[in-house]
Amino acid sequence: MKRQAEAKLPTDWGEFKIIAYSDNENDWMPHLVMISENTDLSQTVNVRIHSECITGDLFHSKRCDCGKQLDAAIKYIHENGGVLLYLRQEGRNIGIINKLKAYNLQDKGLNTAEANIELGFPADGRDFKIAVEILEELGIKSINLLTNNPEKISFINDSSIQLINRIPLEIAPEKENLDYLKTKKNFFGHFLNNI
């Protein structure tokens, strides 16, 4: 994983530096990192590892809490300093086309994990080792992780990065995503207190 390009990025939340990471400089879908201005990477850094969700992040789908989590994380990182890792692992790493197929299966009664399995994929095929590689390349030694996902914590705990604190990132459920959030809690073991 190599740093391919970086630039200043003014946003609605504030100023960030954005960096593209991939193995190949011609990759059209690199992983992205946003670093809030005045973040000291030599200290413990607030970090959000966010997997791409086009439907939630871009189109504000109510089928999930992804877009609202992303917005809340960027706001927190701007206000408190930190780094957002945006990993290109759409649909728990099945891609947008298969994710739309999974939506149709969910509309027939399967949950998000069952739908992925029905399509021949793991319930969650994401690889958070990529996040560890990027954090190490940035020289980050210790983090506060914005997450509800125990798997992300496991990847950090099995790495050279020291986990200091977990910062919960809970979004209030809506009727359209309540079943999705129940699956996150009951199948994947996410730390969700408001479900």
Decide if 120 is inside a domain. no
Q: Count structural domains, the chain.
A: 1
Measured torsion, CA atoms of residues 5, 54, 133, 1, in degrees rounded to the nearest 10? -40
Decide if 148 is inside a domain. yes
pLDDT computed for residue 193 by the predictor: 85
pTM exceeds 0.95 for this model: no
Q: Which of 57, 65, 126, 166 is catalytic?
A: 126
State the SS3 of the chain: CEEEEEEEEECCCCEEEEEEEECCCCCCCCEEEEEECCCCCCCCEEEEEEECCHHHHHCCCCCCCHHHHHHHHHHHHHHHCCEEEEECCHHHHCHHHHHHHHHHHHHCCCCHHHHHHHCCCCCCCCCCHHHHHHHHHCCCCEEEEECCCHHHHHHHHCCCCEEEEEECCCCCCCCCCHHHHHHHHHCCCCCCCCC
Decide if 109 is inside a domain. no
pLDDT computed for residue 8 by the predictor: 97
Is residue 124 part of the annotated active site? The answer reads yes
Decide if 56 is inside a domain. yes
Say how far apart CA 152 and CA 132 lie, in whole Å.
Answer: 10
Decide if 161 is inside a domain. yes
Binding-site positions for GTP: 48-52, 69, 90-92, 112, 147, 152
Is residue 23 part of the annotated active site? The answer reads no
Domain span holding position 8: 2-89+126-186
Decide if 99 is inside a domain. no
pLDDT computed for residue 137 by the predictor: 97
Binding-site positions: 48-53, 64, 66, 69, 90-92, 112, 147, 152
Decide if 105 is inside a domain. no
pLDDT computed for residue 67 by the predictor: 94
pLDDT computed for residue 75 by the predictor: 96
CATH code for position 150: 3.40.50.10990
Q: What is the mean pLDDT of each run of 10 residues along the chain (195 residues)?
A: 95 96 94 96 98 95 94 96 97 93 95 94 93 97 96 95 96 89 87 83
Decide if 44 is inside a domain. yes
Q: CA 169, 35, 13 angle in degrees (round to 5)?
A: 65
